[in-house]
């Protein structure tokens, strides 16, 4: 099975497993606390197990938020690897607003080259590969194995431009700060009246990739697994994911997996 087909099927199956917990009326999400004090639910673990089961048929190693700690001495030798967030937007999951995703990226020599993001609640699927393009679609039938050719045929190639809308900034639903406010003010000085939208998880990067937003500034902490899949999809759609200088690409498989501040544009 080719890499992107493997990732697509893994993401959708993991999303269905997450929904078993999300839609269970008796579930309190059994929130635990990880070392960084962020919430972790049983759904994270279930999703991770599904994805790991799919990706074990691949020859590439896996770096996952819910996987085991892997030392930099081992990782630095990796030329190509899977970067996975089994459930991005745990806070949104606990709030039950539906804005959480499954993220799977393939990273090569420090740059994401392929990405899949699945939104379980809406069955929305984003996927992209450098040199090929990026697509968005709403899945109708998830009972059979997904094939990349069928998905491309059924999906919409992104971005889709809308020249009628205002310049649009998308930001985090759960995080905001003074740096972001100052950046938005500078955009208002440049573009006049702008629209500001909020979204959870990796959906913010997807909005820029699909053309429903123009820019996503992130001047707060994120980890590599939060951004890898969205980065690949945005890049495949012709967008840029750079540091705050607007030109230096965001890099991956660093010794410290914490991302610096970045902008998707």
Same domain for 127 and 190, yes or no, is no
Q: Which one of 130, 158, 186 terminates a domain?
A: 158
Given a contact cutoff of 8 angstroms between Cβ atoms, the answer to whether 18 and 120 are in contact is yes
CATH number at residue 152: 3.30.540.10
Q: Which tokens in the block code for residue 265?
A: 């544009």
Same domain for 180 and 149, yes or no, is no
User: How many domains does the chain fold into?
Assistant: 2
Whether this model's pTM surpasses 0.75: yes
Same domain for 15 and 81, yes or no, is yes
Same domain for 37 and 133, yes or no, is yes
Q: Flag whether 249 is in a domain.
A: yes
Q: Flag whether 163 is in a domain.
A: no
Q: Flag whether 89 is in a domain.
A: yes
Same domain for 212 and 153, yes or no, is no
- Tell me: cis bond preceding 109? Omega within 30 of 0 counts: no
Residues 94 and 39: their CA atoms lie apart, in Å, by 9
3-state helix, strand, coil in the chain (%, to 5): 30, 25, 40
- Tell me: cis bond preceding 159? Omega within 30 of 0 counts: yes
Task: For the chain, count helices (H), then strands (E).
Answer: 8, 14
How does pLDDT run along the chain (265 residues), one tens digit per residue? 689 999 999 999 999 999 998 998 877 665 665 555 555 578 898 999 999 999 999 999 999 988 778 999 999 999 999 999 999 998 888 888 999 999 999 999 999 999 999 999 999 999 999 999 999 999 987 777 889 999 999 999 999 987 788 999 998 765 667 888 888 899 999 999 999 999 989 999 999 999 999 999 999 999 999 999 999 999 999 999 999 999 999 999 999 999 999 999 9
Same domain for 219 and 250, yes or no, is yes
Q: Flag whether 57 is in a domain.
A: yes
Q: Flag whether 19 is in a domain.
A: yes
User: Range of 249's domain?
Assistant: 168-264
Same domain for 19 and 112, yes or no, is yes
Same domain for 233 and 118, yes or no, is no
CATH number at residue 185: 3.40.190.80
């Amino acid at each position: 099975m080719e890499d992107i087909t493997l990732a697509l099927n893994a993401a959708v199956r993991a999303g269905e497993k997450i929904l078993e917990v999300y839609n269970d009326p008796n579930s309190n999400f059994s929130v635990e606390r990880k070392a960084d004090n962020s919430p972790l639910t049983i759904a994270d673990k279930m999703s991770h197990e599904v994805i790991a089961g799919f990706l074990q048929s691949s020859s590439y190693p896996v770096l996952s938020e819910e996987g085991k700690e892997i030392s930099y001495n081992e990782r630095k030798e990796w030329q190509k690897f899977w970067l996975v967030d089994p459930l991005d937007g745990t806070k949104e999951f606990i709030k039950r607003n539906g804005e959480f995703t499954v993220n799977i990226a393939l990273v090569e020599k420090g740059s994401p080259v392929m990405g899949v993001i699945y939104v379980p609640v809406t069955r929305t699927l984003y996927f992209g590969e450098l040199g090929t393009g990026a697509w968005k679609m709403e899945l109708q039938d998830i009972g059979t194995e997904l094939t990349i050719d069928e998905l491309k045929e059924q999906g919409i190639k992104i971005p889709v431009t809308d020249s009628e809308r205002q310049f649009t900034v998308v930001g985090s639903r759960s995080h905001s700060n003074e740096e972001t406010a100052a950046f938005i003010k500078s955009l208002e000085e440049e573009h006049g009246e702008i629209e500001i939208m909020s979204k959870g998880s990796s959906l913010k990067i997807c909005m820029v990739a699909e053309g429903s937003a123009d820019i996503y500034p992130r001047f707060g902490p994120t980890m590599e697994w939060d951004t890898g899949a969205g980065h690949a999809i945005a890049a495949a759609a012709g967008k840029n994911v750079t540091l705050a200088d607007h030109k230096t690409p965001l890099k991956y498989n660093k010794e410290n997996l914490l991302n610096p501040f970045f902008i998707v544009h």
